[in-house]
Structure 1
């Protein structure tokens, strides 16, 4: 089944459709939809994207999320025209009323980091600055052969403000992260895989098909177990091994009483495909 949503539902203003949302066969596809400006992040897009990520996370029928973009870019970073005009994410930066706090409920990378639902970024084109960090915030990245990752922060006089300084050292180590951030280098799709920043490169025409195929493979598994596995991986980043093993055991106890675990065991014994219900 397919469920399409009007983008006004994802925004308090009900403005233009800057992000598209569709749910088909337990897979939510969220699409940045401002190709005329290469999907640069505006305040409206930020609000819609955040709301739709939360919506997907709260929907028990969604077992995997694909994030992608329309046009030739995935996301070319912040909308600099809006920002320099006093609006956008950095609105007010040149005034005396700059906030000393950040609302983490309205930043896609922090929302994605808290999600238990697996996320796949189908990087259809250039991902620069904020766009690169947003892609890195997903669990898995598939890249079109024409796509690029551009860590252009220091070339613009800023730091990776949307998670890059947290993601990159953990993903590729301190030295490689330093080289990438300090130089502001752009990596091709093939280089992104070589650096450990993407899973694989596929022809641009096959990107969404491959992303959906991977999402389907994830969605076919027991959703409670998949979500618990992601949650344990996230928690494990900040705890010792003995503490982690203990927490995994505590997470396992409710799963052992679930209908999905019984179904998984019976399907294995009966040599058939399991039918998981998330219960």
Structure 2
């Protein structure tokens, strides 16, 4: 019987990291400032997302926040003191390899955002960058960019038209409107809404369901979905076939077939 991996924790204080049962939980941990993003926090989040993606033990990632907000955007106080987002890049360039939205978009591991409270600006874009969003009843998505004189700087202008269509994306971005959790569900920006106290339990339940499947197949499926956003159908079918061939040779595929024939749950090893 496969042993569950031992839980591990990081030494970071502004972003917490632990792994148990093939699930990595990354927690924004600056509740006193509503988890607004500073330069150091940005770097920690990037580093830990990459760590989770590279850890063979991890099969699903949950991103959440401590306190009453998921992430209230950029820490404007840090920006004024020179320790904000702008400190992570030069004035004329941004290292796209090391920003959470870009890292999230390139991750093969499935990601779940457990939106525990307000997700505004940068926080909203970060939530949208995850594959699945489960929102607490009290949570909100605030597209307040134009109200601050900026554009969605972290992927919102790319995500929203693809998620909800041009017209609804225009309405949300141009008005800078705030959506309640229920409105986010109606707009198609949340997978489900649960009572606040049930949020992490439900997120872990979905993560366990994902982690129980063959991880190489799950990751290949996500990779194909991402590639399909910018491919023609014939090109995409060809790439799917090339992904399928190595999966035929894996232990997990043989285990999946054997488990099906024996009418039992498969025990996948990620090889």
Please give the range of the TM-score, normalised by the shorter of the 2 chains. Answer: over 0.9
In the alignment, the residues of structure 2 paired with residue 92 and residue 83 of structure 1 have an alpha-carbon distance, to the nearest angstrom, of: 11
Residue 90 of structure 1 aligns to a residue whose secondary structure is helix
Alignment TM-score, normalising by the size of structure 2: 0.96
CA gap 1:121/1:154 in 2 versus in 1, 3 angstroms: same
How much does 1:172 deviate? Answer: 0.4
Offset of 1:7 from its aligned partner? 2.7
Q: How many residues align?
A: 267
Residue 18 (str. 1) matches residue 10 (str. 2):
no
* Aligned position for 1:7: 11
Q: Is the 8 A contact 2:10 2:18 kept in 1?
A: no
Instruction: Give 1:54 deviation, angstroms.
Output: 0.4
Paired residue for 1:275? 267
Q: CA deviation at 1:2?
A: 3.8
Q: Tell me how far apart the structure 2 counterparts of residues 179 and 42 of structure 1 sit (CA, whole Å).
A: 29
Kindly report which structure 2 residues correspond to 1:185-264, keeping only aligned pairs within 5 A, or say none: 185-264=177-256
- Contact kept, 8 Å, 1:63 with 1:219, in 2: the verdict is yes
Contact in 2 for aligned 1:7/1:48 (Cα 8 Å): no
Work out which of the residue numbers 4, 12, 23 in structure 2 matches 1:27.
Answer: 23
Instruction: Give the whole-Å Cα distance in 1 for the aligned partners of 2:73 and 2:173.
Output: 15
Matched ranges for 1:51-70 at <5 A: 51-70=47-66
1:144 maps to 136
CA contact (8 A) 2:39 2:88 kept: no
Does the 8 Å CA contact 2:112/2:207 hold for their aligned counterparts? yes
CA 1:58–1:91 in 2, change beyond 3 Å: closer, same or farther?
closer
Report if aligned partners of 1:86, 1:92 keep a CA contact under 8 Å in 2: no
Unpaired runs of at least 5, structure 1: 9-16
Q: Who is 2:124 aligned against?
A: 132
- Superposition RMSD on alpha carbons, in Å? 1.2
Question: Matched residues in 1 for 2:99 and 2:28: separation?
Answer: 15
Query: Unaligned 5+ residue runs, structure 2?
Result: none
SS in 1 for 2:206: helix
- List per-residue Cα deviations over 1:25-52 (Å, max 9, x = no partner): 0000000000000000011110100000
TM-fit CA distance, 1:92 = 9.7
**Offset at 1:106?**
1.8
SS of match in other structure, 2:49:
helix
Q: CA deviation at 1:239?
A: 0.5
Distance 2:38 2:163 in 1: 28
Q: CA deviation at 1:240?
A: 0.2
